[in-house]
Amino acid sequence: MVQISNKPNISSMKNAADDAEYSSKLLAREGKLFAGLHATRFKGFAYGMAIALLLIVIIPFIAKLAGF
């Protein structure tokens, strides 16, 4: 015998809502990460250039003056 229920089957709607919520949180997280990277890119580039200059030019120059 088949039982008839008046309760709606909303499990698929709950799953779709959970998937949409997860996707929106993932997009928001990615947006925040990109904004943070975009805000610090010039400072990071400047730090990288300063460290490269230090390692490639200044330290060998000091070592040459010291006689190494």
Q: What is the pLDDT of residue 2?
A: 73
Calpha distance 27→30 (Å, rounded): 5
State the average pLDDT over residues 14-39.
93
State the average pLDDT over residues 54-59.
90
Q: What is the pLDDT of residue 47?
A: 94
State the average pLDDT over residues 35-54.
91
Calpha distance 22→1 (Å, rounded): 40
**Closest C-alpha among 61, 59, 38, 40 to residue 50:** 59
Q: Place 17 in a pLDDT band, splitting at 50, 70 and 90.
A: very high
Q: What is the pLDDT of residue 49?
A: 94
What letter does residue 7 receive in the DSSP assignment?
A: S
Q: What is the pLDDT of residue 68?
A: 76
